[in-house]
């Protein structure tokens, strides 16, 4: 059978398996297998040369039983409706894994933002948000940054929505600049949350982090911050890569120096004292900890058997295919699944939303402390389910999460 790579089909199968293992009848899966609401919009944008160009955008709200919908908006040329639906479903699961009161949503626009001027990008961002304005709001659906979107784009989203409402509405989006109601600690939250789960996983399998070796696939914001934080815990970062190449030194790398090199040259490749390494080679290095922090489907049935790491912390969304998951579990590799490992981002987005609603803001130390408490608790719940049911960590995370959503749907009378 061909390996399943359609993200929406993957998440539907994961939900179906979880529902079956929890002993639910078909009605639970019927309510979870498709999003509650999906909107496709056509966004006309006046380009700098005076011409009009249209862009296709999507917003998917998967499930709102636990609370309002939450999820990022990505601007990428390869955005598809199935991808957006899948990511909104994973957001439902992710929010419930860590126990925050959100359902899942996701948005996307089919565009290469690198081809637009700043003013064209602003007109596109505002046009997209006007087009989905009826779906979003602090009580309904709270977007956030994702691939190729950032705090500036969130500021445009918030400003456009505030104009439509006639008053300032910071709580409509998260991931905003600090001076517009953003939260301290948000920039590092995804990687920090991942680091907390890796630390807890290391305790469970008896791995001493002092001197533990780490390879990071994808040296963007999440990957570089995870490398820095793990180095602070005593780990040795031996390999990193990005879309243009990789750098490997078995004696270890200084994560901050690598980041500076990347800022200067636009790639980690060629960092002094390292040898080039391909993405495929990096994944198969003999290291203690592997962090996939880039794109989907990089660990597949073709390379899973060659992976030697003891712990995989999925900082990226969907880096491991279902077939690969089975191989890794059989080989005794502890995979901290994306829906748990990278839930630090949405957790601090939740903190940002709470701070916006009460118009009172926490220090970075408070944010990090609250994040640690939630991530450690979530990891322990998932690890306990993993042991109790004899399933891999991804299935355990789904069991914890689907049970919470199903309980909410039952209490509300949806089932």
**What residues are labeled active site?**
106
3-state SS, residue 44: strand
Q: What sign does the CA torsion over 379, 380, 381, 382 have?
A: positive
For residue 52 the two structure tokens come to 């009009």
C-alpha gyration radius of the chain:
21
- Report the relative pairing of strands 52-61 and 69-76 from DSSP bridges: unpaired
3-state SS, residue 57: strand
**Local structure of residue 45 (DSSP, 8 states):** E
Name residue, tokens 């040296």: 219
Phi, psi of 352, deg, nearest 5 = -60, -45
Helices 7-21 and 81-97 meet at what angle, rounded to 10? 40
**Local structure of residue 39 (DSSP, 8 states):** E
**Local structure of residue 101 (DSSP, 8 states):** S
DSSP-assigned beta bridge partners for residue 44: 54
């Amino acid at each position: 059978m061909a390996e399943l790579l359609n993200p929406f089909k993957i998440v539907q199968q994961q939900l179906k398996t979880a529902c079956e293992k929890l002993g639910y009848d078909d009605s639970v899966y019927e309510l979870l297998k498709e999003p509650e609401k999906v909107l496709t919009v056509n966004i006309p944008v006046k380009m700098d040369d005076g011409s009009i160009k249209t862009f296709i955008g999507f917003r998917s709200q998967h499930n709102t039983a636990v609370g309002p919908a939450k999820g990022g908006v990505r601007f990428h040329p390869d955005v598809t409706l199935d991808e957006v639906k899948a990511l909104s479903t994973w957001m439902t699961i992710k929010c419930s894994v860590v126990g925050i009161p959100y359902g899942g949503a996701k948005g996307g626009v089919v565009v290469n933002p690198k081809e637009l001027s700043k003013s064209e990008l602003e007109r596109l961002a505002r046009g997209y948000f006007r087009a989905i304005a009826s779906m979003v709001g602090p009580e309904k659906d709270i977007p956030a940054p994702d691939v190729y979107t950032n705090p500036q784009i969130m500021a445009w989203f918030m400003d456009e929505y505030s104009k439509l409402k006639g008053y300032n509405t910071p709580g409509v989006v998260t991931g905003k600049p600090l001076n517009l109601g953003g939260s301290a600690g948000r920039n590092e939250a995804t990687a920090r949350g991942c680091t907390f789960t890796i630390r807890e996983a290391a305790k469970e399998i008896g791995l001493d982090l002092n001197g533990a070796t780490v390879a990071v696939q994808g040296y963007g914001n999440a990957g570089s911050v995870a490398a820095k934080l793990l180095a602070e815990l005593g780990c040795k970062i031996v390999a990193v890569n990005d879309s243009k190449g990789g750098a490997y030194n078995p004696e270890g790398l200084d994560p901050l120096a690598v980041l500076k090199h990347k800022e200067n040259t636009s790639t980690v490749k060629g960092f002094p004292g390292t040898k080039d390494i391909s993405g495929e080679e990096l994944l198969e290095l003999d290291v203690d900890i592997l962090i996939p922090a880039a794109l989907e489907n990089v660990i597949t049935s073709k390379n899973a058997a060659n992976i030697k790491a003891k712990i995989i912390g999925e900082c990226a969304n969907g880096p491991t295919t279902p077939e690969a998951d089975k191989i890794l579990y059989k080989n005794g590799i502890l995979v901290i699944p994306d829906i748990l490992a990278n839930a630090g981002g949405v957790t601090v987005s939740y903190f940002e939303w709470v701070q916006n609603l009460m118009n009172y803001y926490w220090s970075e130390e408070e944010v990090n402390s609250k994040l640690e408490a939630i991530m450690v608790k979530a990891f322990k719940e998932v690890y306990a389910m993993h042991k109790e049911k004899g399933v891999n960590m991804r299935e355990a995370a789904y069991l914890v999460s689907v049970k919470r959503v199903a309980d909410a749907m039952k209490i509300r009378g949806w089932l």
